Amino acid sequence: MQFFIDSADVGEIQKALAMGLCDGVTTNPSLVARTGRKFSEVLKEITALVPGPVSAEVTAVDHAGMMKEARALAKVADNVVVKVPLIVEGLRAVRSLAAEGIRTNVTLCFSPVQALLAAKAGATYVSPFVGRLDDVSEDGMAMVSQIVEIYRSYDFATKVLVASVRHPVHVLEAARLGADVATIPFAVIGQLANHPLTEIGLKKFLADWEKVPKE
Ligand code: E4P
């Protein structure tokens, strides 16, 4: 499973790259707003830093507007993937963009049938939002499981990119289900490495090492 980092913060992305845990990046308007920087500057910097795909989202909600924004975003760098919302106009745009050879990430997916539509439109990635579904007492990972099942049954080329990841168990479940990618907030990447027994064990080894006679 590939690890993308769900962030528009260049510092976080650099740290994830140094850890070898950044196969790509996903951004969204809220993440960009959090940086307080211009989107064009941030996107140029991230696409130059990261060799893998970098998702950048359109904000238009009509086909013509999406196409205009998508073409401009795709010109920024070869590794840009255009993020399009899962609405009817968005699906139309995905189809048109696929015909132009522009890769897409269909975002805000909350059901397996929505994911089926994204695949039929020719999306490169679909982003099921597991955390936000859990927040409303639904089962985000059950949705991912059904999407994986449907995509495998029909051999769709669209990749399942698990999004709205909130904690390490989401990452574990995404990997167990055979999702292609999980896009993970930087804080959660840190949590994945931590285990209290590792910490206790290391402390004990270092303390015992102090007792070993040195040359
Ligand atoms: C995905 O591409 C989105 O940027 C992201 O995963 C949304 O996560 P959130 O629900 O934590 O905002």
Q: How far apart are the first and last CA of the chain?
A: 46
pLDDT, tens digit, for every residue of 33-73?
A: 999 999 999 999 999 999 999 999 999 999 999 999 999 99
State mean pLDDT over 22-32.
Answer: 97
Query: Any idea where the domains of the chain sit in the sequence?
Result: 2-211
Closest residue by Cα to atom 8, ligand 1, is: 164
Q: Residue 23 carries which side chain, given as an amino acid letter?
A: D
Q: According to the model, what pLDDT value does residue 152 have?
A: 97
- Percent of the chain predicted with pLDDT > 90: 99
- Check pocket membership of 7 for ligand 1, CB cut-off 6 A: no
For position 164, what pLDDT does the model report? 98
Torsion angle, alpha carbons of 9, 15, 20, 23, to 10: 0
Catalytic, 83? Answer yes
Token pair listed for 101: 């050879």
Q: Which ligand 1 atom is nearest residue 132's CA?
A: 10
Q: Which two tokens stand for residue 27?
A: 């951004």
199: CA distance to ligand 1 center in Å? 30
In the block, residue with structure tokens 């920024």: 76
> Which residue puts its alpha carbon closest to atom 9 of ligand 1?
164
Residue 97 burial (C-beta neighbours within 10 Å; 0-12, 13-18, 19+) = buried
Give pLDDT tens digits for 84-131.
Answer: 999 999 999 999 999 999 999 999 999 999 999 999 999 999 999 999
Give the contacts of 92 (CB within 8 A, at least 6 positions apart).
Answer: 63, 121
User: Would the CB of 96 count as within 6 Å of ligand 1?
Assistant: no
Distance of alpha carbon 77 from alpha carbon 35, whole angstroms: 21
**Bridge partner list, 106:** 84, 126
CB–CB of 88/109 below 8 Å? no
209 alpha carbon to ligand 1 midpoint, in Å? 44
- C-beta of residue 87 within 8 angstroms of C-beta of residue 118: no
* pLDDT of the residue at 189: 95
User: Contact 102/81 with Cβ under 8 angstroms?
Assistant: no
Tokens representing 125? 């990635």
DSSP 85: E
pLDDT at 139: 98
Tell me the three state secondary structure of residue 23.
Answer: coil
Averaged over 1-5, what is the pLDDT? 98
pLDDT surpasses 90 at 215: no
Mean pLDDT for the chain overall: 97
CA distance 106 to 124: 8
Q: 133 and 124 in contact (C-beta within 8 Å)? A: no
Q: At what angle do helices 63-76 and 39-49 cross, to 10 degrees?
A: 50
Percentages helix, strand, coil for the chain (3-state, rounded to 5) are 55, 20, 30
pLDDT at 5: 98
To test ligand 1's pocket by mutation, which of 164, 181, 184, 188 has the most ligand atoms within 8 angstroms of CB? Answer: 164
Distance CA 91, CA 115 (A): 11
What homologous superfamily does CATH list for 2-211? Aldolase class I (3.20.20.70)
Which atom number of ligand 1 is nearest to the Cα of residue 30?
12
Residue with tokens 């929505």: 114
Q: Is the pLDDT of residue 19 over 90?
A: yes
